[in-house]
Chains A and B, each alone.
Chain A
Amino acid sequence: MSSIAVAEHHHAEPPSSTGIPHDKMGMWVFLCSEVMFFTGLIGAYLVLRFSSPSWPDPSKVLNIPLTAFNTFLLICSSVTMVQALASADRGDLRKMKLFLSLTLLFGAGFLSVQVYEYNKLLFHEHFTPSSSLFGSVFFTTTGFHGFHVFCGVVCMAYMTGKAFLGKLTQAHHEGIETLGLYWHFVDLVWIILFTIIYLF
């Protein structure tokens, strides 16, 4: 790293009392609020499920193999995201662009499969938010998660664009780490939702 790059890097990270850069700390605090948000949704799902006298078998209503494939896509996107950060840290900007593009592709793939699933459920199988309690909590919880993935994909497109425009360098790529934290969190939430909603 050149002295100019080092000076720029330090300029980008003002001192923080915690020793954690402000942008990263801000993202973690935001993610903590998101934990509470999804805990509320998951908690509501569990309470409703266990207090209901009857509950439909998710495997008879939902397409488990398709969603397992979707889970796999999101896991793939997480590994490409972390590889993008590792490549940026190493200064391998070509691989950083490749991994960011792959993450974007996997994220868009996940959303496409979810849209396909919703379309099938809503218009072919007439399983709607108003058809049952399960329908309400299913669409609310997975819908909010899908919205989070959508926001992540939009941010990822912006970040990938920045990478291809040469605005991300070995010294300046803090955004990848911050966005990566959000992306991994979305993956983590899906791991829990897939287990609780689709497999329980």
Chain B
Amino acid sequence: MDQEHKTADQGHKTPNYMAIFYWLAGLTVVEVGWATLLHDNRKPLIIGLVLFAGVKALLVALFFMHLKFERKTLGLIVASTLILGVILVSVGLAEHYLPRP
């Protein structure tokens, strides 16, 4: 019974939150620098920014929101939402980029 009520995040080793914080702060500085330096170079600018923002979002979700230590059920629920979100944005953008009949 006791075990049943335990969530997956209970009992995991506490992550080094300060290290995550330094990464997030550092990446923000790099991101602003990247945007300033590559201001007129759109392709590498966008690829870099998406990469940095993705890593930062992943760090927050995995370590601060404890998704890394949660049950798979929760991961599946979140993943399915994200997939729907990607489809929504892709369809919106596809309407603009794909040739119209």
Q: Residue A64 at the B interface, CB < 8 A?
A: yes
Q: A75-B25, A79-B20, A199-B49 are in contact. Are A35 and B85 (CB under 8 A)?
A: yes
Q: Is the interface of B mostly helix, strand, loop or mixed?
A: helix
Distance between Cα atoms of A176 and B35 in the complex (Å): 36
Q: Which residue of A lies closest to B8 (CB)?
A: A19
- Given B14, B31, B74, B93, which contacts A47 in the complex, CB threshold below 8 Å? B93
Interface set, chain B 18-44, CB cutoff 8 A to A: 18, 20-21, 24-25, 28-29, 31-32, 35-36, 39
Indicate if the CB atoms of A50 and B7 lie closer than 8 Å.
no
Indicate if the CB atoms of A72 and B71 lie closer than 8 Å.
no
Indicate if the CB atoms of A36 and B85 lie closer than 8 Å.
yes
Count of interface residues, chain B, beta-carbon cutoff 8 Å: 51
Given the complex, which residues of A lie within 8 Å of B14, measured CB to CB?
Answer: 86
Indicate if the CB atoms of A185 and B7 lie closer than 8 Å.
no
Distance between Cα atoms of A62 and B14 in the complex (Å): 39
Q: Residue A42 at the B interface, CB < 8 A?
A: yes
Q: Residue A200 at the B interface, CB < 8 A?
A: yes
Indicate if the CB atoms of B65 and A181 lie closer than 8 Å.
yes
Indicate if the CB atoms of A184 and B52 lie closer than 8 Å.
no
Given the complex, which residues of B lie within 8 Å of A43, measured CB to CB?
Answer: 88-89, 92-93
Given the complex, which residues of A lie within 8 Å of B18, measured CB to CB?
Answer: 79
Q: Which residue of A lies closest to B6 (CB)?
A: A19
In this complex, the interface size class of chain A, counting residues with CB under 8 Å from chain B, is 35 or more
Chain B min CB distance to A8 (Å)? 13
Distance between Cα atoms of A65 and B18 in the complex (Å): 23
Interface set, chain B 53-101, CB cutoff 8 A to A: 53, 56-57, 60-61, 63-65, 70-71, 73-74, 77-78, 81-82, 84-85, 88-89, 92-93, 95-97
Q: Is the interface of A mostly helix, strand, loop or mixed?
A: helix
Interface locus among A10-18, A111-119, A128-136, A139-147: A10-18
Given the complex, which residues of B lie within 8 Å of A64, measured CB to CB?
Answer: 32, 35
Closest 9 CB pairs of A and B: A39-B85, A195-B53, A199-B35, A32-B81, A79-B21, A43-B89, A47-B92, A184-B64, A188-B60
User: What would be 5 A-B contacts, judged by CB atoms less than 8 Å apart?
Assistant: A36-B85, A43-B89, A51-B96, A78-B21, A82-B64
Q: Which residues does B use to contact A, with CB under 8 Å? A: 1-2, 4-8, 14, 17-18, 20-21, 24-25, 28-29, 31-32, 35-36, 39, 45-46, 49-50, 52-53, 56-57, 60-61, 63-65, 70-71, 73-74, 77-78, 81-82, 84-85, 88-89, 92-93, 95-97
